[in-house]
């Protein structure tokens, strides 16, 4: 009996600990709650399995504990809600459960599974019958269509996977080079905590399942993809070439050299589908001297490094610089920056990050192992003649927190723990 009670206590403590972590995820819940209940439809977007549902559920639990509230929760991944297939079903289901004597709150998980859902959302929102929060895994459906129809009564929040500090906390690890290596290898999907990073086979199976769900369900079925092998070839190609500049035409040329016939329009469409499913991000180029966005080829980065590594497969020892660059890019997004690739004359600046009128320039490399590398990484930044902060980020501990002509070197671990730049 004592053993059973002790086991239950440990389990309860574990659940409470997990719940606390979820509530503290980079202030997501706090920021979203401040907007929720003010007549705005709140949409949480992001790749599948990054934790959108957990963030929304933590807010749902808080509101459901208040007896003055009537809370309706719909999870479109549960068979209990298969009766809701289109906007008419959705509105009927919600209206039947509204309580005019209370404040009504509606939560819908994976709302894009409901055909023409935005019609019901617009109808429910127009008469202010309830406050609405939804999650979804398709950028086009949630960001473009919903925001256009609601015209100023919509607020979107992009939920990312775990950042480095959250990764440490979720997996109960210490900040170390070994932990950083695990972060770069396995990425930031929260569910990996339950599997345990030491269970490599389970982690591998889980990442494979996530990819199949996103690719097969969210892209192939929704977009009616016929050339599945091309889609897989393209996403692997992007994984092998993180950060490199490409146009649709140049990708066509590479694929043709590998005996894969494809048109530029098809490549553009497939890239858009991958971006809409939040597998990859498209990053444009920015002329630092002319202060304008250039219409040149784009670069691509992955939402999650674990997903990317699984897609590419094999021994990734020689990918370290790509992984560092991707990690730096994702952290800049978490800090709220809009990110570009910088162009200055013939030189390229890895990242130009802008936020609320401020600009940060960043160069990324593996190690500062030679004077040539030091001259290249710091020299490109020295050519920028303004007073905005400039950083070189690497894995070089020997170089330390060095400052060269106002350009600061940061180890990747220190950069990923930064709250501001």
Q: Residue 2 — pLDDT band, cuts 50, 70, 90?
A: very low
Mean pLDDT for 79-93 is: 96
Q: What is the mean pLDDT of residues 127-155?
A: 78
Q: What are the pLDDT digits (tens) for 114-126?
A: 998 988 998 898 8
Where residue 23 falls among pLDDT bands split at 50, 70, 90? very low
CA atoms lying within 13 Å on the CB side of residue 220: 14
The pLDDT > 70 percentage for the chain reads 88
pLDDT at residue number 17: 45
Q: What is the pLDDT of residues 171-180, one digit of tens each?
A: 999 999 999 9
pTM reported for the whole predicted model: 0.88
- Planar angle of CA 395, 400, 405, nearest 5 degrees: 110
| Structure tokens given for 32 | 């979203």
pLDDT at 165: 94
Q: Is the pLDDT of residue 331 over 60?
A: yes
Give the model's pLDDT for residue 293: 55
- Where in the sequence of the chain do the CATH 3.40.50.300 domains occur? 2-158
Q: Which fold has domain 315-421?
A: Trna Endonuclease; Chain: A, domain 1 (3.40.1350)
Asked if residues 350 and 245 have their Cβ atoms less than 8 Å apart, the reply is no
pLDDT band at 380 (very low <50, low <70, confident <90, very high): very high
In this predicted structure, what is the pLDDT of residue 288? 73
CATH fold label, 2-158? Rossmann fold (3.40.50)
pLDDT above 90 (res 208) = yes
Backbone angles phi, psi at 89, to 5 degrees: -60, -40
For residues 339 and 351, is the Cβ–Cβ distance under 8 A? yes
**The pLDDT of residue 415 is above 90:** yes
Structure tokens at 120: 């019901």
Q: What's the DSSP call for residue 160?
A: P
| Element counts in the chain: helices (H) and strands (E) | 18, 13
Residue-by-residue DSSP string for 44-79: EE-STTSSHHHHHHHHHHHHHT-TTEEEEEEETTSG
Order across the sheet with 403-404: list the strands. Answer: 292-302, 280-287, 338-344, 347-355, 358-364, 390-394, 407-411, 403-404
The pLDDT score that the predictor gives to residue 296 is 63
- CATH 3.40.1350 occupies which residues in the chain? 315-421
Confidence of residue 287 (pLDDT cuts 50, 70, 90): confident
Mean pLDDT of the chain: 87
């Amino acid at each position: 009996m004592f053993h059973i009670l002790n086991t239950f206590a440990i389990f309860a403590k574990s659940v409470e600990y997990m719940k606390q972590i979820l509530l503290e995820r980079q202030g997501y819940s706090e920021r979203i709650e401040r907007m929720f209940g003010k007549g705005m439809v709140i949409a949480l977007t992001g790749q599948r399995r990054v934790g959108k549902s957990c963030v929304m559920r933590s807010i749902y639990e808080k509101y459901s504990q208040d007896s003055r509230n009537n809370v309706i929760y719909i999870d479109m991944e549960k068979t209990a809600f298969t009766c809701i297939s289109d906007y008419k079903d959705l509105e009927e289901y919600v209206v039947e459960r509204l309580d005019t004597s209370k404040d009504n709150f509606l939560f819908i998980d994976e709302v894009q599974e409901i055909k023409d859902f935005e019609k019901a959302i617009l109808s429910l929102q127009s008469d202010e019958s309830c406050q609405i929060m939804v999650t979804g895994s398709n950028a086009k459906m949630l960001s473009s269509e919903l925001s256009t129809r609601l015209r100023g009564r919509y607020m979107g929040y992009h939920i990312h996977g775990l950042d480095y500090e959250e990764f440490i906390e979720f997996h109960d690890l210490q900040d170390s080079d070994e932990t950083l290596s695990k972060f770069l290898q396995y990425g930031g999907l929260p569910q990996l905590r339950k599997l345990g990073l030491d269970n490599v086979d389970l982690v591998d199976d889980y990442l494979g399942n996530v990819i199949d769900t996103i690719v097969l369900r969210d892209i192939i079925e929704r977009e009616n993809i016929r050339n599945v092998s091309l889609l897989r070839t393209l996403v692997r190609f992007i994984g092998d070439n993180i950060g490199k500049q490409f146009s649709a035409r140049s990708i066509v040329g590479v694929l043709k050299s590998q005996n894969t016939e494809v048109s530029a329009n098809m490549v553009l469409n497939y890239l858009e589908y991958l971006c809409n499913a939040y597998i990859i991000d498209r990053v444009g180029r920015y002329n630092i001297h002319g202060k304008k966005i250039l219409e040149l080829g784009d670069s691509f980065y992955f939402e999650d490094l674990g997903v990317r590594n699984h897609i590419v497969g094999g021994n990734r020892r020689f990918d370290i610089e790509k992984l560092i660059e991707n990690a730096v890019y994702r952290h800049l997004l978490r800090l709220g920056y809009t990110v570009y690739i910088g162009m200055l004359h013939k030189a390229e600046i890895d990242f130009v990050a802008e936020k609320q009128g401020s600009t940060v320039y960043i160069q990324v490399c593996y190690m500062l192992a030679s004077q040539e590398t030091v001259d290249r990484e710091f020299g490109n930044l020295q050519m920028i003649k303004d007073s905005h902060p400039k950083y070189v980020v690497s894995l070089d501990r020997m170089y330390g927190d060095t400052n060269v002509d106002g350009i600061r070197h940061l180890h990747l671990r220190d950069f990923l723990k930064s709250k501001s730049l």
